[in-house]
A and B are shown apart, each in its own frame.
Chain A
Amino acid sequence: EDQVTQSPEALRLQEGESSSLNCSYTVSGLRGLFWYRQDPGKGPEFLFTLYSAGEEKEKERLKATLTKKESFLHITAPKPEDSATYLCAVQAGTTGNTGKLIFGQGTTLQVKP
Protein backbone atom coordinates (compact mmCIF):
# COMPACT_ATOMS: atom_id res chain seq x y z
CA GLU A 1 0.00 0.00 0.00
CA ASP A 2 1.27 3.46 -0.90
CA GLN A 3 2.12 5.39 2.24
CA VAL A 4 3.65 8.69 3.32
CA THR A 5 5.00 9.31 6.83
CA GLN A 6 6.19 12.67 8.09
CA SER A 7 8.33 13.37 11.13
CA PRO A 8 8.38 14.95 13.56
CA GLU A 9 4.67 15.65 14.08
CA ALA A 10 5.54 18.97 15.70
CA LEU A 11 8.69 21.07 15.83
CA ARG A 12 9.46 24.16 17.87
CA LEU A 13 12.43 26.30 16.85
CA GLN A 14 13.90 29.57 17.95
CA GLU A 15 14.17 32.19 15.26
CA GLY A 16 17.39 31.55 13.33
CA GLU A 17 17.66 27.89 14.43
CA SER A 18 17.92 25.78 11.28
CA SER A 19 16.38 22.31 11.07
CA SER A 20 14.97 19.66 8.74
CA LEU A 21 11.58 18.01 8.28
CA ASN A 22 11.42 14.43 7.04
CA CYS A 23 9.01 12.75 4.62
CA SER A 24 9.40 8.98 4.16
CA TYR A 25 7.45 7.30 1.41
CA THR A 26 6.62 3.78 0.31
CA VAL A 27 5.08 3.83 -3.14
CA SER A 28 5.08 1.70 -6.25
CA GLY A 29 6.81 3.87 -8.80
CA LEU A 30 7.18 7.44 -7.60
CA ARG A 31 5.92 9.89 -10.23
CA GLY A 32 6.39 13.02 -8.15
CA LEU A 33 6.82 14.28 -4.58
CA PHE A 34 5.23 17.56 -3.54
CA TRP A 35 5.69 19.89 -0.59
CA TYR A 36 2.94 22.21 0.57
CA ARG A 37 2.62 24.75 3.35
CA GLN A 38 -0.72 25.11 5.14
CA ASP A 39 -1.73 27.87 7.52
CA PRO A 40 -4.58 27.18 10.00
CA GLY A 41 -7.99 27.15 8.29
CA LYS A 42 -6.52 27.81 4.84
CA GLY A 43 -5.81 25.79 1.74
CA PRO A 44 -2.40 24.18 1.17
CA GLU A 45 0.05 26.42 -0.67
CA PHE A 46 2.27 24.75 -3.25
CA LEU A 47 6.02 24.93 -2.55
CA PHE A 48 8.00 22.36 -4.56
CA THR A 49 7.83 19.36 -6.87
CA LEU A 50 10.63 16.78 -6.98
CA TYR A 51 10.71 14.00 -9.54
CA SER A 52 13.91 12.01 -9.17
CA ALA A 53 16.46 11.04 -6.53
CA GLY A 54 19.19 13.63 -6.15
CA GLU A 55 16.96 16.50 -7.20
CA GLU A 56 16.99 19.66 -5.05
CA LYS A 57 14.86 22.82 -5.14
CA GLU A 58 15.17 26.04 -3.18
CA LYS A 59 12.92 28.94 -2.34
CA GLU A 60 14.01 31.64 0.09
CA ARG A 61 14.80 29.86 3.39
CA LEU A 62 13.47 26.49 2.21
CA LYS A 63 15.30 23.73 0.40
CA ALA A 64 13.77 20.39 -0.58
CA THR A 65 15.79 17.29 -1.40
CA LEU A 66 14.81 13.81 -2.58
CA THR A 67 16.30 10.33 -2.20
CA LYS A 68 14.85 6.97 -3.24
CA LYS A 69 13.10 6.57 0.12
CA GLU A 70 12.59 10.02 1.59
CA SER A 71 12.55 13.75 1.15
CA PHE A 72 13.79 16.46 3.43
CA LEU A 73 12.62 20.03 3.77
CA HIS A 74 15.49 22.05 5.17
CA ILE A 75 14.65 25.36 6.81
CA THR A 76 17.59 27.73 7.16
CA ALA A 77 17.47 30.54 9.73
CA PRO A 78 13.67 30.38 10.10
CA LYS A 79 11.53 33.38 10.98
CA PRO A 80 8.24 33.44 12.92
CA GLU A 81 6.35 33.83 9.63
CA ASP A 82 7.59 30.36 8.62
CA SER A 83 5.31 28.90 11.32
CA ALA A 84 2.80 26.61 9.57
CA THR A 85 2.04 22.97 8.87
CA TYR A 86 4.21 21.50 6.12
CA LEU A 87 2.64 18.72 4.10
CA CYS A 88 4.35 16.16 1.92
CA ALA A 89 2.45 14.31 -0.82
CA VAL A 90 3.29 11.78 -3.52
CA GLN A 91 1.90 10.70 -6.84
CA ALA A 92 2.34 6.96 -7.24
CA GLY A 93 2.64 4.83 -10.33
CA THR A 94 -0.24 2.68 -9.08
CA THR A 95 -2.62 5.56 -9.68
CA GLY A 96 -1.96 5.52 -13.40
CA ASN A 97 -1.93 8.78 -15.30
CA THR A 98 -3.98 10.66 -12.72
CA GLY A 99 -3.18 13.45 -10.34
CA LYS A 100 -4.19 11.69 -7.14
CA LEU A 101 -2.02 12.93 -4.25
CA ILE A 102 -1.35 10.80 -1.18
CA PHE A 103 -0.61 13.09 1.75
CA GLY A 104 1.35 12.60 4.93
CA GLN A 105 -0.08 13.83 8.24
CA GLY A 106 2.13 16.92 8.21
CA THR A 107 4.70 18.56 10.47
CA THR A 108 3.52 21.58 12.44
CA LEU A 109 6.36 24.06 12.78
CA GLN A 110 6.39 26.84 15.34
CA VAL A 111 9.16 29.43 15.19
CA LYS A 112 9.51 31.62 18.25
CA PRO A 113 11.05 35.10 18.08
Chain B
Amino acid sequence: DSGVTQTPKHLITATGQRVTLRCSPRSGDLSVYWYQQSLDQGLQFLIQYYNGEERAKGNILERFSAQQFPDLHSELNLSSLELGDSALYFCASSARLANEQFFGPGTRLTVL
Protein backbone atom coordinates (compact mmCIF):
# COMPACT_ATOMS: atom_id res chain seq x y z
CA ASP B 1 0.00 0.00 0.00
CA SER B 2 1.60 3.27 -1.19
CA GLY B 3 -0.56 5.50 1.02
CA VAL B 4 -2.10 7.22 -2.01
CA THR B 5 -5.83 6.69 -2.34
CA GLN B 6 -8.01 7.10 -5.41
CA THR B 7 -11.75 6.95 -5.89
CA PRO B 8 -13.66 5.51 -7.56
CA LYS B 9 -11.89 2.30 -8.56
CA HIS B 10 -14.06 1.81 -11.61
CA LEU B 11 -16.17 4.22 -13.61
CA ILE B 12 -18.39 3.37 -16.56
CA THR B 13 -20.02 6.21 -18.43
CA ALA B 14 -21.25 7.27 -21.85
CA THR B 15 -19.72 9.48 -24.52
CA GLY B 16 -20.31 13.17 -23.96
CA GLN B 17 -20.51 12.85 -20.19
CA ARG B 18 -18.37 14.43 -17.49
CA VAL B 19 -16.66 12.63 -14.61
CA THR B 20 -14.50 13.56 -11.63
CA LEU B 21 -11.68 11.41 -10.30
CA ARG B 22 -10.41 12.01 -6.79
CA CYS B 23 -6.98 11.50 -5.23
CA SER B 24 -5.64 11.82 -1.69
CA PRO B 25 -1.83 11.97 -1.50
CA ARG B 26 0.37 10.33 1.10
CA SER B 27 0.42 12.15 4.40
CA GLY B 28 2.84 15.05 4.19
CA ASP B 29 3.31 14.97 0.40
CA LEU B 30 2.86 18.34 -1.30
CA SER B 31 3.07 17.28 -4.96
CA VAL B 32 0.31 15.47 -6.79
CA TYR B 33 0.60 14.11 -10.32
CA TRP B 34 -1.93 12.65 -12.75
CA TYR B 35 -1.04 10.06 -15.37
CA GLN B 36 -3.06 8.25 -18.03
CA GLN B 37 -2.26 4.67 -18.99
CA SER B 38 -3.65 3.12 -22.14
CA LEU B 39 -2.56 0.00 -23.99
CA ASP B 40 -1.15 1.85 -26.98
CA GLN B 41 0.32 4.92 -25.26
CA GLY B 42 1.71 3.53 -22.03
CA LEU B 43 1.94 5.81 -19.00
CA GLN B 44 1.60 9.46 -19.99
CA PHE B 45 2.06 12.45 -17.71
CA LEU B 46 -0.94 14.76 -17.61
CA ILE B 47 -0.40 17.41 -14.94
CA GLN B 48 1.38 18.21 -11.66
CA TYR B 49 0.27 20.34 -8.72
CA TYR B 50 2.51 21.47 -5.89
CA ASN B 51 0.98 22.83 -2.72
CA GLY B 52 -2.15 23.96 -4.52
CA GLU B 53 -0.54 25.47 -7.60
CA GLU B 54 -0.19 24.01 -11.08
CA ARG B 55 3.45 23.19 -11.65
CA ALA B 56 3.71 21.32 -14.94
CA LYS B 57 1.50 20.25 -17.80
CA GLY B 58 1.91 17.35 -20.17
CA ASN B 59 -0.22 16.46 -23.17
CA ILE B 60 -3.42 17.08 -21.28
CA LEU B 61 -6.48 17.65 -23.44
CA GLU B 62 -8.41 20.92 -23.09
CA ARG B 63 -11.44 18.81 -22.10
CA PHE B 64 -9.50 17.72 -19.01
CA SER B 65 -8.81 19.91 -16.00
CA ALA B 66 -7.50 19.39 -12.49
CA GLN B 67 -7.07 21.18 -9.22
CA GLN B 68 -5.46 20.66 -5.83
CA PHE B 69 -7.37 21.80 -2.77
CA PRO B 70 -6.07 23.36 0.49
CA ASP B 71 -6.14 19.95 2.19
CA LEU B 72 -3.89 18.76 -0.71
CA HIS B 73 -6.31 16.29 -2.22
CA SER B 74 -6.72 16.59 -5.97
CA GLU B 75 -9.46 16.10 -8.51
CA LEU B 76 -9.19 15.39 -12.22
CA ASN B 77 -12.20 16.45 -14.26
CA LEU B 78 -12.82 14.85 -17.65
CA SER B 79 -15.58 16.30 -19.83
CA SER B 80 -17.15 15.64 -23.24
CA LEU B 81 -15.85 12.11 -22.91
CA GLU B 82 -14.90 10.14 -26.00
CA LEU B 83 -14.34 6.43 -26.50
CA GLY B 84 -10.61 7.05 -26.66
CA ASP B 85 -10.59 8.44 -23.12
CA SER B 86 -11.09 4.92 -21.80
CA ALA B 87 -7.95 4.17 -19.79
CA LEU B 88 -6.47 3.75 -16.36
CA TYR B 89 -5.92 7.06 -14.59
CA PHE B 90 -3.29 7.13 -11.88
CA CYS B 91 -2.53 9.69 -9.26
CA ALA B 92 0.91 9.85 -7.67
CA SER B 93 2.38 11.98 -4.92
CA SER B 94 5.83 13.01 -3.77
CA ALA B 95 7.20 14.87 -0.79
CA ARG B 96 8.57 17.78 -2.79
CA LEU B 97 8.81 18.90 -6.37
CA ALA B 98 10.88 16.28 -8.10
CA ASN B 99 11.76 13.21 -6.08
CA GLU B 100 10.35 9.69 -6.21
CA GLN B 101 6.63 9.40 -6.81
CA PHE B 102 4.29 6.94 -5.17
CA PHE B 103 1.29 5.81 -7.19
CA GLY B 104 -2.25 5.11 -6.16
CA PRO B 105 -4.27 2.05 -7.24
CA GLY B 106 -5.82 3.90 -10.18
CA THR B 107 -9.30 4.55 -11.55
CA ARG B 108 -10.35 2.47 -14.54
CA LEU B 109 -12.54 4.62 -16.79
CA THR B 110 -14.66 2.97 -19.45
CA VAL B 111 -16.49 5.19 -21.92
CA LEU B 112 -19.25 3.42 -23.85
Contacts and interface: CB of A to CB of B under 8 A. Distances in A.
B58 A100 contact: yes
B97 A43 contact: no
Interface string A102-113: 111110000000
Interface stretch (A17-25, A44-52, A70-78): A44-52
Contact of B55 (A34, A36, A89, A98): A98
A43 B103 CA distance: 6
B105 A98 contact: no
Contacts of B31: 99
Given A99-B33, A100-B48, A44 B43 contact: yes
Given A99-B31, A100-B58, A46 B45 contact: no
B42 A98 contact: no
Contacts of B56: 95-96, 98-100
Interface residues of B, number: 28
Contacts of A103: 42-44
A37 to B, nearest CB: 11
Interface in A37-65: 41-46, 49
Interface of A: 31-32, 34, 36, 41-46, 49, 87, 89, 91, 95-106
Contacts of B102: 46
Nearest to B33: A99
B76 to A, nearest CB: 15
B25 interface: no
B47 to A, nearest CB: 9
B98 A43 contact: no
A43 B89 CA distance: 9
A93 to B, nearest CB: 11
Given A98-B56, A99-B94, A100-B56, A43 B106 contact: yes
A8 B44 CA distance: 20
Nearest to B102: A46
A38 to B, nearest CB: 9
Contacts of A87: 43
A89 to B, nearest CB: 8
